[in-house]
Structure 1
Amino acid sequence: MAQLSDFQHPRFAAAYERASKLADQRGAYEHRRRLLAGLTGKVIEVGAGNGRNFAHYPATVTEVVAVEPDDTLRALAAKAAGGAPVPVSVVPGHAEALPADGASFDAAVVSLVLCSVPSQPRALAEIARVLADDGELCFYEHVRSPNPALGLLEDVIVPLWRRLAGGCRPNRDTLRAIERAGFAVSEVDRFTFAPEPPVPALSHVLGRARLTR
């Protein structure tokens, strides 16, 4: 089982803080708004990063528990939580061992995090564990390109990309992993988006899924 020490990437975290602001200016701000629109009840955000989502939670959300393993990003998220429109508590933890009781949340949010978890099946099984029956998963992720040539290129660059980007893998079929974990996808938008130059436009999925059990 991974430990919190395995998720410390201070250089990447500092770069991400800068890059996330630019990405929001280029369109990610609207992506985050769409991701969280209409959420209700108690929410767990898995891999909250520096807390860029917090400002977008609607008033119908009663509580957010934001889990972040990286010390640098978690400290930034804690600052962002102070200005959130809903109660947000930021806690240490990672996707494969969430610090929460089973069936204790109405919804879960993953935002540009399933690309970097060590194991998508374990992370999604843990998310399913903490969700109530019929709980909702809101996802915003970059995924393997449907273009065969680009997908192959993403396969080739994974070792270098992982070292530079805090463990991120650009070639994951995250939507299929969500479905295999027992979620029924109810809506999905597919689009390409370049968060910042010189990063190329990557395939993204944004949508929602319901836990079926």
Structure 2
Amino acid sequence: MEDQSFNRNPDGINQHKLRSDTEVQKTIDKHPSWTKADFIGRGKLNPDEKNALLTRTEVDRKNLVFGHVGKRRRPLKDIYKLSTKENILRFENKEINEDTFRKNALSKSYRDKVSISQRKKNEKLRYKNLTEEQLEEKRERNKNYISNLSGKKLEKLKASESNRQKKRWANMSEAQKEIKREGDRIYQKRKAEMKRKERLKNAKN
């Protein structure tokens, strides 16, 4: 029967010696911008495991303090490149905080990567699920956006809308065309009535 107390390596040759928390913390303090992933050779600043300074079990010790924890944030100058002019202006005027500024910029960068066809499908689905109140707010935003356009942008929008109207009209059935004509007549009457009320109001003033 084999002796269970037999030691095959009494001198402890080639056996790994555990480093104390103090020794590990000294290594961490030398790289304050590194994350746990960097120390084990799997991070952005140290992506090669051959250059790992610590082991997985060492970085998971509870008493250690790392200079950087969690996901590394992009530099603010990169966020500026991803942002719209409106988002930058709101951030610089302190209308939104930095977290919102970053979130808006990253959302825009994700949208820009989506194909035009997929973007149109997403917009149709989003529009379909809007409440009447949300639809009214969207119409108001569209009006404000168009009223602020000028020059080439306005001409481009008018040309695009004109082509879209022609295509839509060409694909309509006669019944659909009649419904649209009736809707246009109602709209024109409502518009004329609004103008009349505006004239009367101005005349009283």
The structure whose residues are more often strand, as a share, is: 1
Question: Is the TM-score greater than 0.5?
Answer: no
Larger RCO of the pair (alpha carbons < 8 Å, separation 6+): 1
Larger radius of gyration: 2
TM superposition score category, shorter chain reference:
under 0.3
TM-score (norm 1): 0.20
